[in-house]
């Protein structure tokens, strides 16, 4: 008897263990919020296509869906993740290999609910977690634009994800934990301009895809909003857009924010690395009123403490010998552009004194730019950006560590020193 009961208990536990996930997965498959949202009638088809083109730039679809030197939107670009590489699909209107057979409903479901035409769950490397904020009319405009492009035959390449991440069905659990489909809801207490900015930042602009940081399962960190974090694999730190010790914009004027977003340079800092690409490919194309709306929203975000606050007195004592070595190297290699007083010559050469990009707790960004150099983005507002030469080839790990430690601790800057080991580790990170 006892044995029978125990056996039955074990069996029912087993059944539950199998059935719960099955029910769960089925629920995610069947649950299709937004599936009844109708398309609005289109009065001016040409205008709708132009709106779609504008949104494709605001959403930077090109960044992932076009391989280097490849045909526009035909996919095939490798997107590295900690779980392996994904290859972006072809979203040109080719019937055999692209989205030629898709309907506007299919497309809406992909953007709004993260499912492909056949219902498969899509990986959140595709930022539908943010695009879900777009209303149906914006999704339809994007669809009309992609349908208007030349069809390119280019079959999709299979993703190269490690087990178990290659099992799409497991995304059911991920979705239940981290994904809530839903359009942007305007806050009636705020101005129309603020709401437009909030929509652009949270929706098409998908700023939180990088600036929220990601947890171990690749989900934008809960509650963090724009709280900053390391971008895995890319090996850059996306600063918090709310902490004043990082890239919080509360103290900037709206005009300064617009300048940084549209031209990539400003009196305080210039953008580099992945952010330079975001400005070049996406933000510089924003209309003046949309850039101003984004600035208005970003400026209004309540400041957070920024737990990774840099700029605090470093815990490790600074070694005088390292600082002296850094000062000497700075004089030899850097003063010509960034000047003795560290104020640079904006907009060509950004200041290093008081530049938060340098004093954050994570030193990875200044390390990478000193090793690899970089260019501010080429934009209509700043068509011939000045460049920063790479020092990786000519300076030793100890030298780079000394000069980065020096710029983090001179002209009133204060941040923890960096070690030669940290420089060595970053040499291994690919530039792209």
State the binding string over 345-384 for ligand HEC (x if CB under 6 A, else -): ----xx-x--x-xx------xx--xx---xxx--------
Nearer to ligand HEC, 190 or 339 (CB): 339
Of the pair 13, 387, the CB lying nearest ligand HEC is at 387
User: Does the footprint of ligand HEC cover residue 214 (CB under 6 A)?
Assistant: no
Pick the closest to residue 278 from 290, 266, 263, 288 (CA basis). Answer: 263
Q: What six digits make up the tokens of 214?
A: 């990601």
Cβ atoms within 10 Å of 169's Cβ, excluding its own: 13
Is residue 126 a contact point for ligand HEC (CB under 6 A)? Answer: yes
Residue 271 in the binding site for ligand HEC (CB under 6 A)? yes
Measured CA angle at 82 (ends 213, 115), to 5 deg: 80
- CA dist 195 → 8, 99, 199, 231, 423 (Å): 57, 32, 6, 28, 42
**Interaction of residue 295 with ligand HEC, rule CB under 6 A:** no
- Looking only at residues 148 through 207 of this chain, which bind ligand HEC when binding is defined by CB under 6 A? 201, 205-207
Instruction: Name which position in 212, 275, 401, 418 contacts ligand HEC (CB under 6 A).
Output: 275
88 binds ligand HEC (CB under 6 A): yes
Q: How far is the CB of 4 from ligand HEC (least distance, A)?
A: 46
Using CB under 6 A, which residues numbered 3 to 62 contact ligand HEC? 56, 59-61
- CA separation for the pair 308, 305 (Å, rounded): 9
Is there binding between residue 286 and ligand HEC (CB under 6 A)?
A: no
Q: Which stretch binds ligand HEC (CB under 6 A): 22-30, 121-129, 182-190, 304-312?
A: 121-129
338 binds ligand HEC (CB under 6 A): yes
Nearest approach in angstroms of CB 222 to ligand HEC is 19
- Residue 64 as a binder of ligand HEC (CB under 6 A): the answer is yes
- Nearest-angstrom CA–CA distance, 285 and 98: 26
Decide if residue 247 touches ligand HEC (CB under 6 A). yes
Minimum CB distance to ligand HEC, residue 221 (Å): 15
In degrees, rounded to 5, the angle at the alpha carbon of residue 144 between the alpha carbons of residues 98 and 284 is: 95
Q: For 260-264, which contacts have Cβ atoms below 8 Å and span 24 or more sequence positions?
A: 261/286, 261/291, 261/294, 261/295, 262/286, 262/291, 262/379, 262/381, 263/347, 263/379, 263/381, 263/382, 264/376, 264/377, 264/379, 264/381, 264/382, 264/385
């Amino acid at each position: 008897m006892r044995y029978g009961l125990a056996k039955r208990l074990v069996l029912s536990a087993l059944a539950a263990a199998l059935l719960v996930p099955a029910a769960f997965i089925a629920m995610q498959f069947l649950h299709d919020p937004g599936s009844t949202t109708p398309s609005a009638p289109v009065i001016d088809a040409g205008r709708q296509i132009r709106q779609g083109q504008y949104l494709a730039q605001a959403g930077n679809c090109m960044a992932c869906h076009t391989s280097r030197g490849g045909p526009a939107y035909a996919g095939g670009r490798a997107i590295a993740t900690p779980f392996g590489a994904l290859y972006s699909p072809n979203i040109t209107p080719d019937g055999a290999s692209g989205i030629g057979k898709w309907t506007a409903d299919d497309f809406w479901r992909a953007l709004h609910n993260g499912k492909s035409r056949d219902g498969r769950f899509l990986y959140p490397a595709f930022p539908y977690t943010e695009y879900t904020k777009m209303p149906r009319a914006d999704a339809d405009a994007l669809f009309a634009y992609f349908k208007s492009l030349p069809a390119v035959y280019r079959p999709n390449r299979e993703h190269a994800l490690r087990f178990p991440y290659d099992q799409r069905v497991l995304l059911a659990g991920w979705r239940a934990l981290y994904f809530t489909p839903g359009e942007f809801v305007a806050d009636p207490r705020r101005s129309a301009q603020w709401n437009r900015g909030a929509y652009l930042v949270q929706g098409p602009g998908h700023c939180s895809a990088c600036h929220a940081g990601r947890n171990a399962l690749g989900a934008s960190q809960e509650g963090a909003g724009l709280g900053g974090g390391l971008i895995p694999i890319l090996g850059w730190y996306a600063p918090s857009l709310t902490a004043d010790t990082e890239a919080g914009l509360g103290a900037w004027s709206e005009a300064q924010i617009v300048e940084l977003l549209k031209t990539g340079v400003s009196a305080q800092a210039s953008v580099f690395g992945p952010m330079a690409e975001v400005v070049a490919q996406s933000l510089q194309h924003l209309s003046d009123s949309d850039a101003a709306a984004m600035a208005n929203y970003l400026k209004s975000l309540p400041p957070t403490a920024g737990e990774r606050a840099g700029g605090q007195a470093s815990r490790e004592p600074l070694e005088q010998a390292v600082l002296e070595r850094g000062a000497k190297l700075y004089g030899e290699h850097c003063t010509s552009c960034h000047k003795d007083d560290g104020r640079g010559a904006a907009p060509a050469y950004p200041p290093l004194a008081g530049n938060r990009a340098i004093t954050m707790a994570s030193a990875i960004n200044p390390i990478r730019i000193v090793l690899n150099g970089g260019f501010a983005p080429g934009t209509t507002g700043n068509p011939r950006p000045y460049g920063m030469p790479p020092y990786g080839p000519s300076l030793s790990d100890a030298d780079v560590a000394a000069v980065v430690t020096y710029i983090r601790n001179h002209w009133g800057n204060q941040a923890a020193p960096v070690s030669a080991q940290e420089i060595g580790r970053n040499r291994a990170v690919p530039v792209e």
